[in-house]
C-alpha cells in the first residue's frame, strides 16, 4: 500500500478506481478530468489532476485500451432509412448526433456512425457501446441489436417490458397537448396521420386519444408508413376521395404535416380557418413553411447528450436508468 492507502499496480502506479475513491467521484469523471474535459468543472478537474500527480498516476490510453480490450469507440446506429424527403440533415437525426458527438468526444471516445444496413460491420461489433436512434416498428431494431451484447442505450419510447436504457421525449404528453389545443379551438373531427407500430408514434397517438376522450371526441387514424411530404399529401387526398369530413390534423412528424397542409390547400380549403394542422419535431423548415407550421418541440441536443452520458456510464459498469424529456407545443399559423 502506498501513501493514503492507495493500491498500486505491479508497475507501481495506482488504478483509476483508486483515484476515483480518493477524489470521491466516479471513474468516468476521473477519466474526463485527466483528459481535460470541459464536462468536469475546473475545481474538480484540478483536484483530480493534482491527486494523479501526487500518486504518480499517468493516463496511458493505448495501454488502458489494450488491457481492457477497449476500442474507445461508440457505435451510433440510425434506424431510419434516409430518402430524398427525409434526409440525415433534418434535426432528427442531425441535432441528436451533435449532442452525442459533443459528449463522447469530450470523454475521449470516437463515434462510429452507421445506418441499420451497415450495422453488421466488424467495427460496430468491436465498439465498447452502442447508441440506437430509433426502435423500429414493433421494436424490431432493438431486438436485432440486443444480439450484439454491447452496452446499449436507445432513443425512443419507454415501455414496461424494456430490458435496456431508453432516452426519449414524453410522447404521450406531446399527443395530449395537441389534443387540448384542438379542443380549445373548437375542433371536433380530428385526424391522426402516422404509423403507431413505432413505439414513439404509438405513445403520441394514445396521448392524443386519451385527451380527446375527455370531451367524447374520437380521432380517425390514417396509417402511413412513410414519414414524408408525399405521404402526408396522399393521406389528405385519400380522406377527400372517401368524403371523410375533418377539421384538424395531427401528423406524427413535420414532413407529414407539411404534405397534409399542401394537399388541404390544393383542395380549396383554408389552413387554419377550415382545418387546423400540428406536426411533431419543430423542424427549422416548419417555421419558414407557408403558413408557418405549429409543432411539438423536442430537445434533440439534450437528448443526444443524455444518450452519450448513459452509454458511457454503462461502459464503465455504472448504473444508468431510462429518462423522458419534456416537450412543448409551438403554436404558429396552422
Q: Which of 145, 134, 158, 146 is nearest to 78 (CA)?
A: 134
Percent of the chain with pLDDT over 70: 88
Q: Which residue has the higher pLDDT, 16 or 256?
A: 256
pLDDT tens digits for 90-130? Answer: 777 888 999 999 999 999 999 999 887 766 677 787 889 99
| Cα 132 to Cα 129: distance, rounded to the nearest angstrom | 10
Quick one: pLDDT at residue 82?
65
Quick one: pLDDT at residue 180?
98
Quick one: pLDDT at residue 103?
95
pLDDT tens digits for 13-63? Answer: 678 888 889 999 988 888 888 776 778 888 998 898 888 888 877 655 554
**Do the two domains 73-169+300-325 and 171-297 of this chain adopt the same fold?**
yes
Of 3-17, 240-254, 304-318, 320-334, give the lowest mean pLDDT range.
3-17
| Cα 292 to Cα 201: distance, rounded to the nearest angstrom | 23
Quick one: pLDDT at residue 65?
52
**For the chain, give me the number of helices (H) and strands (E)?**
13, 12
Q: CB-side exposure of 187: number of CA atoms within 13 Å?
A: 28
Q: Which residue has the higher pLDDT, 51 or 310?
A: 310
Total number of residues shown for the chain: 334
H helices of 161-274, where? 171-184, 199-213, 229-241, 254-266
Q: Phi first, then psi: give them for residue 168, nearest 5 degrees.
A: -170, 175
Q: Please, are residues 165 and 305 in contact by the beta-carbon 8 Å criterion?
A: no
Fold of 73-169+300-325: Rossmann fold (3.40.50)
Of 18-32, 226-240, 273-287, 291-305, give the lowest mean pLDDT range.
18-32
CATH class of 171-297: alpha beta
Q: Please, are residues 281 and 95 in contact by the beta-carbon 8 Å criterion?
A: no
Q: Which residue has the higher pLDDT, 197 or 1?
A: 197
Listed in sequence order, the residues at least 6 apart from 63 whose beta carbon sits closer than 8 Å to its beta carbon are none
Q: Where are the domains of the chain?
A: 16-59, 73-169+300-325, 171-297
pLDDT at residue 204 greater than cutoff 90: yes
pTM over 0.75: yes
Quick one: pLDDT at residue 299?
93
Quick one: pLDDT at residue 149?
80
Grid cell of 19 as nine digits: 483515484
Q: Which residue has the higher pLDDT, 150 or 88?
A: 150
pLDDT tens digits for 259-288? Answer: 999 999 999 999 999 999 999 999 999 999
For residue 105, the surrounding DSSP H or E stretch is: helix 91-106
Q: Phi first, then psi: give them for residue 279, nearest 5 degrees.
A: -105, -165
Q: Please, are residues 142 and 95 in contact by the beta-carbon 8 Å criterion?
A: no
Neighbours of 121 (CB within 10 A): 12
pLDDT band at 171 (very low <50, low <70, confident <90, very high): very high
Q: Phi first, then psi: give them for residue 178, nearest 5 degrees.
A: -70, -45
| Cα 252 to Cα 174: distance, rounded to the nearest angstrom | 10
Q: CB-side exposure of 80: number of CA atoms within 13 Å?
A: 21
Quick one: pLDDT at residue 86?
62
Neighbours of 270 (CB within 10 A): 10
| Cα 112 to Cα 61: distance, rounded to the nearest angstrom | 19
Q: Please, are residues 205 and 230 in contact by the beta-carbon 8 Å criterion?
A: no
pLDDT band at 306 (very low <50, low <70, confident <90, very high): very high
| Cα 37 to Cα 31: distance, rounded to the nearest angstrom | 9
Amino acid at each position: 500500500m502506498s501513501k493514503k492507502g492507495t493500491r498500486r499496480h505491479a508497475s507501481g502506479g495506482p488504478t483509476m478506481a483508486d483515484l476515483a475513491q480518493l477524489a470521491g467521484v466516479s471513474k468516468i469523471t476521473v477519466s474526463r478530468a485527466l483528459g481535460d474535459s470541459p464536462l468536469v468543472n475546473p475545481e474538480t478537474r484540478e483536484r483530480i489532476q493534482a491527486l494523479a500527480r501526487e500518486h504518480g498516476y499517468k493516463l496511458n490510453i493505448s495501454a488502458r485500451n489494450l488491457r481492457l480490450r477497449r476500442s474507445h469507440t461508440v457505435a451510433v446506429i440510425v434506424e431510419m432509412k434516409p430518402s430524398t424527403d427525409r434526409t440525415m440533415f433534418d434535426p432528427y437525426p442531425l441535432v441528436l448526433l451533435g449532442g452525442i458527438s459533443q459528449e463522447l468526444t469530450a470523454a475521449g471516445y470516437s463515434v462510429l456512425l452507421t445506418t441499420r444496413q451497415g450495422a453488421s460491420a466488424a467495427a460496430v461489433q468491436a465498439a465498447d457501446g452502442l447508441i440506437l436512434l430509433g426502435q423500429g416498428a414493433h421494436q424490431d431494431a432493438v431486438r436485432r441489436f440486443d444480439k450484439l451484447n454491447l452496452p446499449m442505450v436507445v432513443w425512443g419510447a419507454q415501455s414496461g417490458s424494456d430490458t435496456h436504457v431508453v432516452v426519449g421525449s414524453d410522447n404521450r404528453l406531446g399527443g395530449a397537448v395537441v389534443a387540448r389545443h384542438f379542443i380549445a379551438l373548437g375542433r371536433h373531427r380530428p385526424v391522426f396521420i402516422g404509423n403507431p407500430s413505432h413505439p414513439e408514434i404509438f405513445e403520441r397517438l394514445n396521448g392524443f386519444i386519451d385527451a380527446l376522450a375527455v370531451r367524447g371526441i374520437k380521432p380517425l387514424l390514417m396509417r402511413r408508413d412513410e414519414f414524408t411530404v408525399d405521404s402526408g399529401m396522399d393521406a389528405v387526398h385519400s380522406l377527400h376521395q372517401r368524403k371523410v369530413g375533418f377539421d384538424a390534423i395531427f401528423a406524427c412528424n413535420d414532413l407529414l404535416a407539411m404534405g397534409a397542409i399542401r394537399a388541404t390547400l390544393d383542395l380549396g380549403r383554408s389552413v387554419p380557418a377550415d382545418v387546423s394542422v400540428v406536426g411533431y419535431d419543430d423542424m427549422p423548415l416548419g417555421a419558414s413553411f407557408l403558413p408557418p407550421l405549429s409543432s411539438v418541440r423536442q430537445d434533440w441536443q439534450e437528448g443526444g447528450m443524455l444518450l452519450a452520458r448513459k452509454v458511457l456510464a454503462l461502459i464503465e459498469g455504472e448504473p444508468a436508468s431510462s429518462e423522458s424529456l419534456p416537450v412543448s407545443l409551438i403554436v404558429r399559423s396552422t
